Amino acid sequence: MKKTAERASKVIAILKKTYPEVKTQLLHETPFQLLVATILSAQCTDRQVNAVTRKLFSALKTPADFAAAKTSVLEEMIRPTGYFRNKARNIQQCAAALEQNHGGRVPATLEDLVKLPGVGRKTANVVLGAAFDTPGIVVDTHVKRISGRLGLTENKDPVKIEFDLMKIIPEKEWNDFSLRLIYFGREYCTARKPACPRCPLRVLCPYPDKTPG
């Protein structure tokens, strides 16, 4: 654990230099918009989600609007994000739950967020970090892949990875560390053909399948 924590500390330092300023790439003006955008981002790029939500948030603004919308209309509006039927159902059920149980406001605790339809720990931590500045580690596909490659966890389950990282990453770094790994995963440590020869973390990486260079 000590060696892993020491490696994590070095990883944090390099990532800070590589990406001094980080923030979520999902466009939003309110916690509810961020919640909807994050649900839509599953199996979809942030760029595609942003293209959809520009029109979506002009037409539907509040949880009440989403809950009352005709499902077929919402499905068509979010179709480009993929899995649009499941996402539409989750968003409408989530919006209805916000109206019924939270006065139309997005709750600011993990416990309450994960009780909402379609909201897991990843989505909850995105909202808590970006909308409420609450520390949390977001384990998306990038964070899962890279934390494994860097030897920061041996687990495959996202929740177990989250708790592994919480043990070795200082709490004040949780939000930005997740974002930096996401940035890093898009630019360097891609799923296929990672850019190992020019990777700023190469000297710290024990990943056995590094590309030569």
pLDDT tens column, 79-115: 999 999 999 999 999 999 999 999 999 999 999 999 9
Inside any domain, residue 116: yes
Q: In the chain, how many domains are there?
A: 2
Q: What is the pLDDT of residues 34-82, one digit of tens each?
A: 999 999 999 999 999 999 999 999 999 999 999 999 999 999 999 999 9
Contact 17, 180 (CB under 8 A): no
Inside any domain, residue 91: yes
Mean pLDDT calculated for residue range 13-29: 97
Pair (158, 97) in one structural domain: no
Token code pair at residue 209? 């399948």
Domain CATH number, residue 79: 1.10.340.30
Pair (78, 149) in one structural domain: no
Token code pair at residue 200? 């700023």
Pair (37, 124) in one structural domain: yes
Inside any domain, residue 211: no
Alpha carbon distance 82, 97 (integer Å):
23
Contact 176, 159 (CB under 8 A): no
CB atoms within 10 A of CB 59: 12
Amino acid 213: pLDDT: 64
Domain CATH number, residue 163: 1.10.1670.10
| Residue 1 pLDDT greater than 90, yes or no | no
| pTM across the whole model | 0.94
Amino acid 209: pLDDT: 87
* Of 19-28, 81-90, 202-211, minimum mean pLDDT range: 202-211
Amino acid 211: pLDDT: 83
| Residue after which a domain boundary falls, among 131, 161, 195 | 131
Helix (H) or strand (E) run with residue 183 in it: helix 174-187
Alpha carbon distance 128, 64 (integer Å):
21
Amino acid 145: pLDDT: 97
Contact 195, 177 (CB under 8 A): no
Catalytic residue numbers read 122, 140
Amino acid 212: pLDDT: 80
For the chain, state the CA radius of gyration.
Answer: 18
Inside any domain, residue 213: no
**Maximum alpha-carbon separation in the chain:** 57
Pair (110, 165) in one structural domain: no
Pair (190, 146) in one structural domain: yes
Contact 35, 123 (CB under 8 A): yes
Contact 82, 104 (CB under 8 A): no
Q: How big, in percent rounded to 5, are the helix, strand and coil portions of the chain? A: 65, 0, 35
Phi-psi region of 112 (alpha: psi -120 to 50; beta: other; left: phi over 0): alpha
Q: State the pLDDT confidence band at 3, using cuts at 50, 70 and 90.
A: confident
Amino acid 210: pLDDT: 86
